[in-house]
Amino acid sequence: MRVVVVGGDARAHVLAHVLSRSADDVVVSGGNAGTPNAVASPPEELDGDLFVISPEKPLVAGLADRLRAQGKRVYGPGVDGARLEGSKGWMKQLVAKAGVPTAQHATFSDAALALDFLRTMKPPFVVKTDGLADGKGVLVTESLIEAEDDVKAKLAGASFGEAGRTVVIEEGMAGPELSVLAVCDGHRAVLLSPAQDFKRAYEGDNGPNTGGMGAYSPVPIAGDDLLGVVMDRFVEPTLAALRAEGIDYRGTLYGGLMLTPDGLKLVEYNVRFGDPEAQVVLPRLSSDLVDLLATAADGALSDHEPTFISDAAVCVVGATPGYPESPRTGAVIDSLDAIDDVPGTVVFCAGVDRDSEGRLVTAGGRVLSIVGFGPTIATARDRAYEGVRRVGFAGMQYRNDIAAAAAKEETDT
């Protein structure tokens, strides 16, 4: 089977890497200078037996519909289902109909009304862009003044353009977070092994929200009971609510969940695999990813149950200095082949380009996903950080505490 992956992110790279285990041929439409088998042609101009769309922007812009209209077999929701991520306000309405537990909220386009509502809330204040913002459109702050300024800047279009002209203001929640990826075929869903990601830019979960600075899988707090709750209270009611709207959702339903003192609650839905969650979840699959995604695209998951190796994976993201506010790009990346000297590691590329001398250089905020594998989270983590010491570029920004707490808990128990 020939598979076409669409995207230029590290998630597209890992998708291609894992799909290559069983596909006859995998090409990446777009890709980046560090992605093997990248082609410049758009997916509309490529032939393939299965198309897998990596990032949210083309899904929200209707790429899956355009490819399906050409008769192609596509894994990824159409523009109707992609609204779950493209509009947080719409997502909140849908999950209210589905009875999915989530933070209380209200949606505003008018600054005076938004500020009045904000002042009735208790800290921490949470202000989100309604539209897409590369994972950076969420402010969580103890400061009412900062939240007010953020509401004004978002609604004025000053901080996130059109995506911020509507905002969602919601109740602050607290607790450990969990990313659960469900592969859906329109009617049925199967869960992949859970992951935890690290959204804040700096160690100790400080600094601005990013697309994700690291991840690990599996997650010891997410046992079978908890995953049963995820299926019964979140994924299945959401798929049913989508169907009730006439939406045939074939693609990933990514639930960002928080284990609050009042139980598990939904933070957000995304309509594609998590990045960097995909980098730690997909390589751990012991069953066939091509078959899983092709069957979901066909609406025929039936008795498919993905299986995973017990080994853990830890991903550390190397970003450009200044990310997320003002990434400074153009640094030469050291030889990526050096990762081969560290057993149990692999590197996936995102913001990578080639300069006029043919060298790989940094070209985006998140650049490298360095992943370590091992029988324990601690071993996987040590290997990932050994990889970080071998590959990278001048000024590479990364967090030193990815999966540190989980590795410590593992040794304490």
Residues forming the site for ligand AMP (CB under 6 A): 103, 126, 128, 135, 138, 140, 170-173, 177, 199, 209, 256, 267-268
**C-alpha to C-alpha distance for 225 and 295, rounded to whole angstroms:** 26
Nearer to ligand AMP, 67 or 173 (CB): 173
> Residue 274 binds which one of ligand GLY, ligand AMP, none, with CB within 5 to 8 A depending on kind?
ligand GLY
The footprint of ligand GLY on residues 82-141 (CB under 6 A) is: 135
Secondary structure of the chain as H, E, C letters = CEEEEEECCHHHHHHHHHHCCCCCEEEEEECCCCCCCEECCCHHHCCCCEEEECCHHHHHCCHHHHHHHCCCCEECCCHHHHHHHHCHHHHHHHHHHHCCCECCEEEECCHHHHHHHHCCCCCCEEEEECCCCCCCCEEEECCHHHHHHHHHHHHCCCCCHHHHCCEEEECCCCCCEEEEEEEEECCCEEECCCEEECCEEECCCEEEECCCCEEEECCCCCCHHHHHHHHHHHHHHHHHHHHHCCCCCEEEEEEEEEEECCEEEEEEEECCCCCCHHHHHHHHECCCHHHHHHHHHCCCCCCCCCCECCCEEEEEEEECCCCCCCCCCCCEECCHHHHHHCCCEEEEECCEEECCCCCEEECCCEEEEEEEEECCHHHHHHHHHHHHHHCCECCCECCCCCCHHHHHHHHHC
Query: Which of ligand GLY, ligand AMP, none does 140 bind, CB closer than 5 to 8 A by kind?
Result: ligand AMP
- Smallest gap from residue 330 Cβ to ligand AMP (A): 29
Q: Which residues contact 40 (CB under 8 A, 6 or more apart)?
A: 30
Residue 208 contact partner, candidates ligand AMP, ligand GLY, none, CB within 5 to 8 A by sort of partner: none
CB of 82 to ligand GLY, least distance (A): 14
> Least distance from C-beta 12 to ligand AMP, angstroms?
20
Residue 277 C-beta: closest distance to ligand GLY, Å: 6
Residue 174 beta carbon to ligand AMP: minimum distance, rounded to whole angstroms: 7
Of 199 and 390, which CB lies nearer to ligand AMP in the complex structure?
A: 199
Q: At a CB cut-off of 8 Å and minimum separation 6, what does 47 contact?
A: 2
- Work out whether 7 is an interface residue with ligand GLY (CB under 6 A): no
The yes or no reply on residue 365 touching ligand GLY (CB under 6 A) is no
Binding track over 233-272 against ligand GLY, x by CB under 6 A: -------------------------------------x--
Instruction: Give 122 or 411: the residue with its C-beta nearer to ligand AMP.
Output: 122
Which among ligand AMP, ligand GLY, none contacts residue 212 (Cβ within 5 to 8 A by kind)? ligand GLY
Choice from 76, 89, 212, 324 touching ligand GLY (CB under 6 A): 212
By a kind-dependent CB cut-off of 5 to 8 A, residue 184 interacts, out of ligand AMP, ligand GLY, none, with: none
Q: Which does 275 bind (CB under 5 to 8 A by kind): ligand GLY, ligand AMP, none?
A: ligand GLY
Shortest reach from residue 254's CB to ligand AMP, in Å: 10
Q: Which residue, 103 or 153, is less far from ligand AMP as judged by CB?
A: 103
Toward ligand AMP, which CB reaches closer, 134 or 298? 134
Tell whether residue 275 is a contact of ligand GLY (CB under 6 A). yes
Q: Could you tell me the smallest distance in angstroms from the CB atom of residue 127 to ligand AMP?
A: 9
- Can you tell me the distance from the alpha carbon of 62 to that of 100, in angstroms, rounded to the nearest whole number? 26
Whether 365 contacts 210, CB under 8 Å: yes
Selected binder of ligand GLY within 170, 185, 277, 311 (CB under 6 A): 277
Nearer to ligand GLY, 130 or 275 (CB): 275
Token reading at 161:
């353009």
> Which residues sit at the interface with ligand GLY, rule CB under 6 A?
135, 197, 211-212, 270, 274-275, 277
